[in-house]
Amino acid sequence: MDMNQYLSMFIDESNDHLQSLNEKMLELEGSPEDIGIVQVIFRSAHTLKGMAATMGFEDLAALTHQMENVLDLVRNDKLKMQNFIFDTLFKSLDALEAMVQDITQGGEGKADVSSIVAALQAIVRGEVPSGEAGGASAEAAASPAASGPAVSKEQVQLDEFQYSILEQSLAAGHRVLYIEVSIREDCQLKAARAYMVFDLLERSGEVVKSHPTVQEIEQEKFDRSFSLYFITEKDPQELRTMILNLSEIEEAKLVPVDSDTLTQLAAKSEAEASETAPAAETSAELPAADQTAASAGDKEKQPAAAKKIVAAPSRTIRVDIERLDVLMNLFSELLIDRVRLEQLATEIKSQELTESVEHMGRVSSDLQNIVMKLRMVAIDTVFNRFPRMVRDLAKSLGKKLDLVITGAETELDRTVIDEIGDPLVHLLRNSVDHGIESIAERIAAGKPETGTVNLRAFHSGNHVFIEIQDDGKGIDRNKILASAIKKGVVTEEESRTMTDEQVYQLLFAAGFSTAEKISDISGRGVGLDVVKSKIASLGGHVTVTSTLGEGTLFSVQLPLTLSIISAMMIRLGSEKYAIPLSSIVETGIIRKEQVRNVHGSKLIPYRDAHIPLMSLSRFFDAPDYSEDDEEETEIVVIRKGDRLAALAIDSFIGQNEVVIKNLGKYLPQVRGISGATILGDGQVALILDPNALIK
């Protein structure tokens, strides 16, 4: 069978699952008691195993299988999560990642995982408790018996908790159904069919209890049928038809349960429970349906099952970025034709044509918005791998630290997202390795044991800022200078007059490192110079601010290349320009007599002060416009930091969302222009760079 077409899908989905496994594991590490998270992890691992086995990646499947075994014990409360278990599981995840990586690069996905598998097996063997504390040995014993494959008769055992749920539902006027579903004998994927049934049911109500349990059904640990208690509002007949409509379902029996039967069941069950508790293993063989004591494991599963309903899968598809580019370009061509049509319609003066062209115009501007937004990706896709990385780093360095991420939803153009990952990894490693002190040092300095690294992303003006701030020891200016002088980067003379900022920039010089001892994380003098050049190649730059003893802030400023900004479109005679809305303070009109000449420059009153008035037409040598002969001039007040200036322009066109495009590699940097955008009529308009206009 040709698997190639599935391979890329497999790789994508595996990466997703690995990512979510990593995230959830970290979450679990924060709250090891939360069985709900374990359930999610288990499901991810289980899906991964299934996919790997289908694709024939045996090692991958084998490893996930062992992980599953451990997780299974955890979620059944037979194993408490402990540090070494976390470590082993994280190691397994790394091994899985390596294998998927190998597959991505065309390999077989083979790897020697025997040591990890052995470690996982040891956890399974060594940590199965013979009996839970509190004399619940019978309950512990009950679970393995229940999970045995041979279940003679379909039956559902309810515990008190579940009874009370059912009772309350009945009291609230919901229907309670006892459902038995059997699957056709020749069915190949029983678990999948059962899953479909559950999926269907969970959409129209709530499954209170099933036998065998959901997990066992998922593992195909059931014969041909399963039964469950179900709360719903729907009509039983309708439900039955819905279930039978699923393929390969042989029969579905739906029996409504009323409060009388329920109390009966409860009474019986109580009696039974007291009898059978000492030897709960036999409960599986009890003939009477719908009753008996519940095992401890079932109680644990209940809240988790409820949680599963809440988590709706996100509905996305993956698209090759090149296709988006093609779409974008095709769309621009469409716009040109639209404008031509508009012109034709006006010439022909056909009412109907004009109307349909207008409608087309509205549709295409909606389309334009969507196409533009398609390229934007939340920086979350870069950030989401950092928590794990920082955790591992901190652990290997024996430090304690929190990574606080804010602004992960900040959107950046896809091309920038693809490139920015590595530089950020370097900076983060640098902060963890060099910034944050060891625990002892922190205590000595009177700081909390746990260091904090803040990772922030936000839009500001035409730029996206990504900041990495630690509360570590800060940068020691003298140490850097000493090292720089020793390496001959600067002379002693020079060093005296250098500003702090200049000194910090030395960190980014090639071959420069101040780490006293070389760690395998950072400190070999490679890294920061690479970071700088990478960011520079993206058109951005890095700045450093630091306070000795209090911490360091690395701020990466990236241009919004290819991204979308809101801009004010203006006219200068026949030419159109876009001014980024983010730097506009306000717009207005001034009369000629309000303009004052002071020392050869023009000033206009603005609020309580005077601000310079700049002639945009003169600055850009506009061929067919000058505001000099106008009595009243439209102005745009722009801002750079706390400085303001007014630009005299011809007229306003309106506000627009525009895509920033660069002017092409050939053109040198043009002062006052930050890029170009393509207007609705297919023409290019230049985007002003207000920062360059205010000196």
Strands in 651-659's sheet, in edge-to-edge order, are 651-659, 564-572, 575-580, 684-688, 673-678
Active site residue 430: yes
Q: Terminus-to-terminus CA distance in the chain, angstroms?
A: 67
Strands in 541-547's sheet, in edge-to-edge order, are 401-406, 451-460, 463-470, 551-559, 541-547
Instruction: State the number of CA atoms in the 13 A half-sphere of 585 facing the CB.
Output: 16
Min separation Cβ 683 and another protein, Å: 6
Min separation Cβ 664 and another protein, Å: 5
Catalytic residue among 17, 22, 23, 68: 68
Contact present, 233 and 205 (Cβ < 8 Å): yes
- Binding site residues, another protein, CB under 8 A: 328-333, 336, 575, 619-623, 661-668, 670-673, 676, 678, 682-686
User: Helix 83-104 crosses helix 114-127 at what angle (to 10 degrees)?
Assistant: 150
Q: Which two tokens stand for residue 543?
A: 């700045």
Element (H, E) at 599: none
Active site residue 46: yes
Measured CA distances, 662 to 72, 262, 371, 565, 683 (Å): 54, 72, 18, 14, 14
Catalytic residue among 430, 437, 627, 634: 430
Task: Give the count of beta carbons closer than 10 Å to the beta carbon of residue 83.
Answer: 10
Catalytic residue among 22, 23, 46, 216: 46
Residue identified by tokens 């995982």 is 113
Give CA–CA dist 469/491, Å, rounded: 30
Q: What are phi and psi of 24, to 5 degrees?
A: -70, -35
Task: Give the count of beta carbons closer than 10 Å to the beta carbon of residue 362.
Answer: 9
Min separation Cβ 620 and another protein, Å: 4
Give CA–CA dist 450/452, Å, rounded: 7
Residue type, 386: F
Q: Is 575 helix (H, G, I), strand (E, B) or coil?
A: strand
Return the DSSP state at 153. S
Give CA–CA dist 210/222, Å, rounded: 12
Residue type, 691: N
Instruction: Name which of 396 and 683 has its Cβ closer to another protein.
Output: 683
Helices (H), 586-684: 616-619
Q: What are phi and psi of 317, to 5 degrees?
A: -125, 160
Contact present, 251 and 116 (Cβ < 8 Å): no
Residue type, 578: A
Give CA–CA dist 553/573, Å, rounded: 46
Element (H, E) at 207: strand 205-211
Residues 6+ apart with CB under 8 A from 408: 378, 379, 380, 383, 384, 457
Element (H, E) at 597: strand 596-598
Task: Tell me: cis bond preceding 212? Omega within 30 of 0 counts.
Answer: yes
Give CA–CA dist 145/432, Å, rounded: 49
Give CA–CA dist 209/217, Å, rounded: 12
Contact present, 232 and 177 (Cβ < 8 Å): yes
Give CA–CA dist 293/302, Å, rounded: 15
Instruction: Name which of 6 and 620 has its Cβ closer to another protein.
Output: 620
Contact present, 67 and 41 (Cβ < 8 Å): no
In this structure, the dihedral spanned by the alpha carbons of residues 407, 408, 413 and 416, taken in order and rounded to 10 degrees, is: 100
Q: What are phi and psi of 156, to 5 degrees?
A: -120, 130
Q: Which two tokens stand for residue 581?
A: 């809305």
Q: Which two tokens stand for residue 587?
A: 């717009």
**Catalytically annotated residues:** 46, 68, 430
